[in-house]
């Protein structure tokens, strides 16, 4: 509500995207996705690929993370993986049947696999990724025929901002690369 809530000076790249301010009154899919989007903005500000995720249980946010591959030097440090680890700690069980994951981009093969392995109740994503998305985009890891746990999937929540922030980030990176060493 206050104008000063983003008072921490950004240390990385200036992000042209503003954080969303969803109404606290309606806790729908768009509300939780807005929280995930805001984590994507945080990721951009420290020069990480802008993807954010939250995990919700009974309406309460129990995990929140963004992509941290660059900072950690860990290729598995995707937003979803970090959020799933946090959620399992919080719940005290690796089975997350009661939990819902909100993530700004369709999960990759690794993260889609992790949603199955953690038995997440539902995955909600923003932008569907036709190249690497494995929950209906390029493939459907969650629908392997012999799985006995079925993850429900909802696609396309706040798709536009979730897609635009990623596209803008990669365009910026490509622009830099043409003048750099790559």
Q: Which residues bind Zn ion (CB under 5 A)?
A: 78, 108, 110-111
Q: Select 99 or 103, whichever has its Cβ closest to Zn ion.
A: 103
Query: For residue 34, what are the β-bridge partners?
Result: none
- Catalytic status, residue 80: yes
The least CB distance from residue 112 to Zn ion, in Å, is 8
Q: Select 20 or 110, whichever has its Cβ closest to Zn ion.
A: 110
If you ran DSSP here, which 8-state letter would residue 15 be given?
P
C-alpha 181: how far from its chain's center?
A: 30
Asked if 133 and 115 count as a contact pair (C-beta separation under 8 A), the reply is: no
Q: Select 91 or 112, whichever has its Cβ closest to Zn ion.
A: 112
C-alpha–C-alpha distance, residues 100 and 65, integer Å: 14
The least CB distance from residue 103 to Zn ion, in Å, is 9
- The 10 Å Cβ neighbour count of residue 170 is 12
The least CB distance from residue 128 to Zn ion, in Å, is 14
Q: Catalytic one among 68, 80, 100, 106?
A: 80
Whether the CA torsion 43, 112, 166, 178 is positive or negative: it is positive
Q: Select 91 or 141, whichever has its Cβ closest to Zn ion.
A: 141
The least CB distance from residue 79 to Zn ion, in Å, is 8
CA dihedral 106, 43, 121, 115 (to 10 degrees): 70
Residue 139 CB partners (closer than 8 Å, separation 6+): 109, 133
If you ran DSSP here, which 8-state letter would residue 5 be given?
G
Q: Select 22 or 107, whichever has its Cβ closest to Zn ion.
A: 107
Residue found by looking up tokens 């690497």 in the block: 132
Q: Which residue is nearest to Zn ion (CB)?
A: 111
- The DSSP bridge pattern shows strands 60-66 and 52-57 to be antiparallel
The least CB distance from residue 135 to Zn ion, in Å, is 11
Catalytic residues: 80
């Amino acid at each position: 509500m206050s104008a000063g809530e983003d008072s921490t000076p950004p240390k990385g790249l200036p992000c042209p995207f503003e954080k969303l301010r969803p109404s606290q009154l309606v806790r729908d899919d768009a509300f939780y996705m807005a929280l995930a989007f805001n984590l994507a903005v945080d990721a951009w500000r420290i020069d990480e690929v802008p993807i954010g995720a939250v995990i919700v249980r009974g309406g309460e946010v129990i995990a929140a993370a963004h992509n941290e591959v660059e900072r950690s030097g860990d290729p598995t440090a995707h937003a979803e993986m970090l959020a799933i680890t946090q959620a399992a700690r919080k719940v005290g069980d690796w089975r997350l049947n009661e939990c819902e994951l909100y993530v700004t981009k369709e999960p990759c093969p690794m993260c889609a696999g992790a949603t199955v392995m953690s038995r997440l109740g539902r995955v909600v994503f923003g932008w569907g990724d036709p190249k690497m998305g494995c929950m209906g985009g390029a493939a459907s890891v969650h629908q392997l025929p012999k799985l006995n746990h079925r993850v429900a999937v909802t696609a396309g929540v706040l798709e536009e901002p979730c897609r635009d922030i990623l596209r803008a980030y990669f365009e910026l990176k490509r622009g830099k690369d043409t003048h750099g060493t790559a």
